[in-house]
Amino acid sequence: MTLATPALPSRSLHFNPQLKRNRTDKIFTSIAALFSLIAVMPLLLVLVYVLIQGGKLISVSLFTQLPPAPGLEGGGIANAIIGTFVVTLVASLIAIPVGVGGGIFLAEYSSSGWFAQFIRVGNDILAGVPSIICGVFVYSAIVATRVFFGQSYSAMAGGMALAVLMLPTVIKTTDEALKLVPQELSWGAIGVGASKFVTITRITLPSAFTPIATGVVLAIARAAGETAPLIFTALFSPFWPEGLFNPIASMSVLIFNFAIMPYEAQNSLAWAASFVLVMLILGANLLARFIRRFASS
């Protein structure tokens, strides 16, 4: 014999918009949607305005020629594009190994000690330090002392300043990513005789590669758009890059310099550089989201 389940009233299975709780839910849902729209509106306005002002100036010469002399027409931002990639590459080569190594130490070797807690707190504080402070610090330590073959402003100094800004993101991401790897994988490797180093390099790190790569891409995107540290370290150059130990152009500093000039040609190049830089940063963020979604699928 089976027990009969009492049937629910049919009216309880249908949405009733007249109920007070449903009306209240609609009101607060609408308010939340409005606030979300307000939050994303500045981004949309910036993208649209930069697209209108700078997108119409995109041409082949923009990516192949040097900036013109003040007041002259034509030219491009090729040296600034190359310089941005050079400085960001230098910063990545410094920040990624140090940041990943620091994250491995925090997650695998000293996860709960006082020193690890000190590093985590310091890393969080460093993440909130204004970028101009990092620029002033590297200026005092590297540029003013001319430690690089007697040179002052240089691409290497700019890369080091950007590396300081990248470190907190890379360390934090690596630390959190390694914590997400199941402990059973490490225990299994150690159980069959693998050393701690082999376990980390062959098991733990490959398992956490995707979230670490996402954090690295986000850190690179942030560094590529910084201006203040490069003004104090890499300065600017209207010529093609001449090596890592000389001043070098970058798109962010070019935008700053050309936007305040009283010449329409330079102002137009500043808008064009803004468009290119925004597209590069947007592409990096979309790549990070793609990596994250690829990991979760």
Flag whether 123 is in a domain.
yes
Taking residues 178-194, report their average pLDDT: 84
Count of domains in the chain?
A: 1
Please report the pLDDT score of residue 78 as a whole number: 94
Q: What angle do CA 286, 50, 33 make, to 5 degrees?
A: 60
The residue range of the domain holding 211 is 81-296
Residues 6+ apart with CB under 8 A from 95: 162, 163, 164, 166, 167, 170, 219, 223
pLDDT mean over 27-37:
93
The whole-number average pLDDT for the span 200-209 is: 87
Check which CATH number belongs to the domain holding 202 and give it: 1.10.3720.10
Of 75 and 19, which is predicted with more confidence? 75
Report, as an integer, the average pLDDT of 200-208.
87
The secondary structure of 194-240 as a DSSP string is --HHHHIIIIIHHHTHHHHHHHHHHHHHHHHT--HHHHHHT---SS-
- The reply to whether 222 falls in a domain is yes
- 69 located within any domain: no
Q: Quote the CA–CA distance of 86 and 128 in Å, as a whole number.
A: 25
pLDDT given at position 4: 54
- Report pTM: 0.84
In a domain, 28, yes or no: no
| Residue of 23 and 170 predicted with greater confidence | 170
Q: In this predicted structure, what is the pLDDT of residue 139? A: 94
pLDDT digits (tens, 9 = 90+) for 94-136: 999 999 999 999 888 877 778 888 888 999 999 889 999 999 9
Q: Are 229 and 139 within 8 A, CB to CB?
A: no
pLDDT tens column, 36-54: 999 999 989 988 998 888 8
Secondary structure letter of residue 181 according to DSSP: S
Q: Which string of DSSP letters, residue by residue, matches 79-118?
A: HHHHHHHHHHHHHHHHHHHHHHHHHHIIIII-SSSHHHHH
* Residue 36 within any structural domain of the chain: no
The verdict on residue 57 lying in a domain is no
Q: How many helices (H) and strands (E) does the chain have?
A: 12, 0
